Amino acid sequence: MSALIKKLPPFTLGVEEEYQIIDPETRDLKSHMSKIVEGGKIHLREQVKAEMHQSVVEVGTNICKNVGEARKEVSFLRNKISELAGNQGLVVGAAGTHPFAKWQDQEITDDPRYHNIVNELKDIARSNLIFGLHVHVGIESREIALQLMNQACYFLPHIYALTTNSPFWEGRDTGFKAFRAKIFAKFPRTGLPEYFDSVQSYDNFLEILVKTNCIDNPKKIWWDLRMHPFFSTIEFRICDMCLTVDETICVVALIQAVVAKLYKLLMSNTSFNIYRIALIRENKFRAARNGLEGKLIDFGKKTEVPTQDLILELLDFVDDVVDELGSRKEIEFVHQILAKGTGADQQLSVFEKTKDTKQVVDYIVGKFNQGI
């Protein structure tokens, strides 16, 4: 390691997952009337909260020192939400979209925050029946966080391809491995973030939006990757909700390793190339459409490369920080994802065999507590 950096910072972690609350008989989403959230607050306090649609529950870990702690927290939260749902005669699943639920049938949570969003965005908000995985990586310096955010954008499609898990929408095979991003794209201030050359220019951007009533607070910047407005983290928001704990923790470990490697390069005065967002957007579209199949673009070589090859290159890129982070076992699970396919591949395989989206729901539910 360079003399400029003796030891990596801790790069603490926070993980947020959004779960589907499902009626085991109809297999449709079920508005839980906040009972699961209310019950959860007795045990989990601020780690569980309602989302805009009542059939969605969001959980978040405490600050985790490493990937091992993150695994324990995510496993505990999945178990607890399963237990609370079971007490209401319901089950839980994890995927980026529900295979056949219709957003028009979903009840909106009775909360001023969500009423305001619906009043502002109308059917764009009401139809946003999607489920994501958000990963926070702790970075104290906003200046460093911004530089790492700019550089990490290149790797977002690679990470996204590994988490694709939303092939169905309202009972249809969309032809995409991750249709969730297409639904969320209707929202303003989503997608890949712009490049910012300084924290001051970033803050000026936020100030203009607030002053002109585009947003009332910086949390309404919903980019795929953002500096969190209130926490000392950068937050990766691009991922579909993963089927299993193993997949979630693998992706968490990979995200942490990417940040750590970019930090190491930065501290060694070797910054990673920054590519135009318009180019990275091409790779994001390919990842959403094809997942691990097909090709992404290697912008350095100016050529198409099989997506799986680029992901293996990414593993090589981060290899020298993995052991210090203590996450080699978790990151090596990438090979199992490459071999077995993502959640989208598995959902599509079930549907191909059964031609029944209800059996796809059963598969999603059955995977929820696997590996815990």
CA dihedral sign of residues 222, 223, 225, 227: negative
Q: How far apart are CA 305 and CA 271, in angstroms?
A: 23
Q: Which two tokens stand for residue 344?
A: 């989208």
Q: How far apart are CA 284 and CA 104, in angstroms?
A: 28
Q: What is the tens place of the pLDDT at every residue in 108-148? A: 988 888 888 899 999 999 999 999 999 999 999 999 999 99
Q: Which of 141, 143, 111 is nearest to 125 (CA)?
A: 111
Please report which helix (H) or strand (E) contains residue 13, including its range.
strand 13-22
Cβ-based neighbour number of residue 275 at 10 Å: 16
Whether the per-residue pLDDT at 93 is higher than 80: the answer is yes
Task: Using alpha carbons, list the distances in angstroms from residue 246 to 2, 61, 220, 224, 287.
Answer: 33, 16, 30, 22, 21
Q: How much is the pLDDT for 113?
A: 85
Share of the chain above pLDDT 70, in %: 98
Q: How much is the pLDDT for 209?
A: 96
CA dihedral 245, 250, 253, 255 (to 10 degrees): -110
Q: How much is the pLDDT for 11?
A: 98
Q: How much is the pLDDT for 215?
A: 94
Q: How much is the pLDDT for 3?
A: 44
* Domains contained in the chain, CATH given: 13-367 (3.30.590.20)
Q: How far apart are CA 124 and CA 119, in angstroms?
A: 10
Q: How much is the pLDDT for 270?
A: 86
Q: How far apart are CA 229 and CA 238, in angstroms?
A: 17
pLDDT interval class at 75 (50, 70, 90) = very high
pTM for the whole structure: 0.96
Look-up of token digits 């966080």: 145
Q: What is the tens place of the pLDDT at every residue in 311-362? A: 999 999 999 999 999 999 999 999 999 999 999 999 999 999 999 999 999 9
CA 77 vs. chain centroid, Å, equals 17
Q: How much is the pLDDT for 272?
A: 86
Whether the per-residue pLDDT at 4 is higher than 60: the answer is no
Q: How much is the pLDDT for 1?
A: 39
Please report which helix (H) or strand (E) contains residue 93, including its range.
strand 91-93
98-109 mean pLDDT = 94
Q: Which of 64, 62, 53 is nearest to 106 (CA)?
A: 53
Least confident segment among 30-34, 87-91, 201-205: 30-34
CA 362 vs. chain centroid, Å, equals 22
Evaluate whether 321 touches 9 at the Cβ level (below 8 Å): no
14-37 mean pLDDT = 91
141-165 mean pLDDT = 97
CA atoms within 13 A on the CB side of 229: 15
Q: How much is the pLDDT for 2?
A: 43
38-66 mean pLDDT = 89
Q: How much is the pLDDT for 109?
A: 87
Evaluate whether 235 touches 226 at the Cβ level (below 8 Å): yes
Q: What is the tens place of the pLDDT at every residue in 167-195? A: 999 999 999 999 999 999 999 999 999 99
